[in-house]
Amino acid sequence: MHTFAYARPTLLAEAVALLEAHGPDARLLAGGTDLIIRLRDGSARPGVVIDIKRIAELRPSIREEAGCLVIGAGTVMTDIAADERVRRSYPALAEAAAVVGSVQIRNRATLAGNVCNASPAADTAPALLVHAARVVAVGPAGTRRIPIDGFFVRSGVTTLARGEIVTAIELPPPDRAMGAVHLRRTRRRGHDLASVTLCCGVDATGVTRIAYGSVGPRPVLAVDESGVLADPTAPGAAKEAIFERLFADASPSPRSMRASPDYRLAMLRVLGARALRIAIDRLAQA
Amino acid sequence: MSESAAAFQIELTVNGHRRAIEVAVHHTLLDVLRDDLGLTGAKECCLVGECGACTVILDGRTVDSCLVLAVEADGSEITTVEGLADERGLGPLQQAFLDKGAVQCGFCIPGQLLSAHALLADNPHPSLPEIQEGLAGNLCRCGCYRQITDAVLATAERAER
């Protein structure tokens, strides 16, 4: 691993100033489960690594604020998967957090890091898209709330501006009851990256939200407001036509090792139909 | 305050012993445990967080020590496999691993033991699927998974309910 300057600020303002001063030559270090790999293989060669774990404002926390559930930037997957409020109100997010990497990875990896890394295969991204999460970012110009669908650009690239640090992920209160589930396909059971990762949410007004990843440069959100998908009595052909529209933005890379494009597109449809059934059942039980 | 230098003074409590040590900022916790502190139980293997051979317990939770910079662990308590045995001999998990024939080449075993130790601390009577999930981040190329899960189950059965 090449060397770098290591900064360990304790104040958010200090981290913002460092990030603004160094721009792309600085990298933020939270759980490190992506960054340390890249520092070692040389695909990231920052001059400055800013460890954010001693910043008071970013300490691990899951708190309720104005009806929202706010997940602080330092919060790791293990704690999100175990949190009663997440499991009750945003079960798809708890399910997604519970399958990221292994126990060792989940003990270290943060939700904010997963989002900022902007991997197309990020397991938490589909659940955050279905639940209309917002990314809270603090930068030189103040605080911004970025809807998660406007945050991802492509692998490793987000709409964060220079000097901006994600301080929390905010989950808005569901306006109405929603049944939601996260499903994925991996090559092996246990610790693996997803070949397809998908979340489906159905709400009481019949709106279905499906989000999917690992099938294109960024995770995609698609919404069916017609009520057809949520209606168990709707004809199969009508549902298939809607699924085709919702999955139109999937464009899996032929160069990925994990699965062929044909396999991913086929599994996207299998997982979509399966997740829809589970989401409808969960809504009925809610 | 913010600090930045090529070397950094840190304090670790490793297996109950306080250690003050100067580390290079680009050295991992694994590097420091093995090369500076002479604790070679944690193994360097995949270096990408997939195999778990470098697993240690950091403030009560397992981590892949190849993915943690030593400076990040400043102020932490660390348990390595060397901390599972004491002057009286092996810990109960270690003995169960031997009894069940879970150790062939042994390379992955320190990591397996620490994952199992942390699992049982959290969940003293895990089911088989819970053990499999709890140890999914530790690969065994000898393929002793059956014996390893048997050893964890046997240890859990012997623990008081």
**pLDDT of the residue at B1:** 39
What kind of fold does domain A178-285 have according to CATH? Enolase-like; domain 1 (3.30.390)
**pLDDT of the residue at B156:** 97
ipTM value of the model? 0.96
Is residue B126 pLDDT above 60, yes or no?
A: yes
Residue in this structure with the two tokens 């601390």, named with its chain if needed:
B121
Q: Which of A87-101, A148-162, A172-186, A223-237 has the lowest mean pLDDT?
A: A172-186
Is residue A130 pLDDT above 70, yes or no?
A: yes
Q: What is the mean pLDDT of chain A?
A: 96
Contact A102 B1 (CB under 8 A): no
Q: Which of residues 48-77 of B touch A (CB under 8 A)?
A: 48-50, 52, 55, 58, 61-64, 66-69, 71-72
Is residue A138 pLDDT above 90, yes or no?
A: yes
Q: How far apart are CA A66 and CA A221, in angstroms?
A: 26
Contact B48 A37 (CB under 8 A): yes
CATH 1.10.150.120-classified regions of chain B:
92-158
**pLDDT of the residue at A188:** 80
B22 and A CB contact within 8 Å: no
From the list B2, B25, B132, which residue is nearest A3 (CB)? B25
Quick one: CATH architecture of B92-158? Orthogonal Bundle (1.10)
From the list A2, A8, A37, which residue is nearest B26 (CB)? A2
Nearest CA in chain B to A52: B72
Nearest CA in chain A to B5: A5
What kind of fold does domain B7-82 have according to CATH? Ubiquitin-like (UB roll) (3.10.20)
**pLDDT of the residue at B2:** 45
- A vs B, Cβ pairs < 8 A, gives 102
Is residue B3 pLDDT above 60, yes or no?
A: no
How far is B132 from chain A, CA to nearest CA, in Å?
A: 8
CB A55 within 8 A of CB A10: yes
Is residue B161 pLDDT above 90, yes or no?
A: no
* Dihedral sign of CA atoms A91, A96, A102, A103 in order: negative
Q: How many residues does the structure list for chain A?
A: 286
CATH 3.10.20.30-classified regions of chain B:
7-82
Specify the CATH number for A57-171; select among 3.40.50.1110, 1.20.58.740, 3.10.20.30, 3.30.465.10. 3.30.465.10
B26 and A CB contact within 8 Å: yes
pLDDT digits (tens, 9 = 90+) for B8-66: 999 999 999 999 999 999 999 999 999 999 999 999 999 999 999 999 999 999 999 99
pLDDT, average across residues A37-56:
97
Cα-based torsion angle of the residue sequence B34, B79, A61, A149 in order, rounded to the nearest 10 degrees: 40
**pLDDT of the residue at A136:** 98
Q: Which of A17-26, A58-67, B5-14, B44-53 has the lowest mean pLDDT?
A: B5-14
Q: Please name the residues in contact with B151: beta carbons below 8 A apart, sequence gap of 6 or more.
A: B93, B96, B97, B99, B100, B102, B116
Is residue A106 pLDDT above 90, yes or no?
A: yes
pLDDT digits (tens, 9 = 90+) for A68-81: 999 999 999 999 99
**Radius of gyration for chain B, computed over Cα atoms and rounded to the nearest angstrom:** 16
Of residues A255 and B108, the one with the higher pLDDT is: B108
List chain B residues with CB under 8 Å of A49.
Answer: 25, 69
Q: DSSP alpha helices (H): ranges in A23-149?
A: 35-41, 77-82, 84-89, 91-98, 103-106, 111-117, 124-130
Nearest CA in chain B to A104: B63
Is residue A151 pLDDT above 90, yes or no?
A: yes
Instruction: Give domain limits for chain A.
Output: 5-51, 57-171, 178-285
Contact B50 A104 (CB under 8 A): no
Specify which of A36-45, A186-195, B152-161 reaches the highest per-range mean pLDDT.
A36-45
What kind of fold does domain A5-51 have according to CATH? 3.30.43
Q: How far apart are CA A148 and CA A156, in angstroms?
A: 15
Interface of A with B (CB under 8 A): 1-10, 14, 18, 29, 32-33, 36-37, 39-40, 48-49, 51, 53, 78, 101-105, 107-108, 189-191
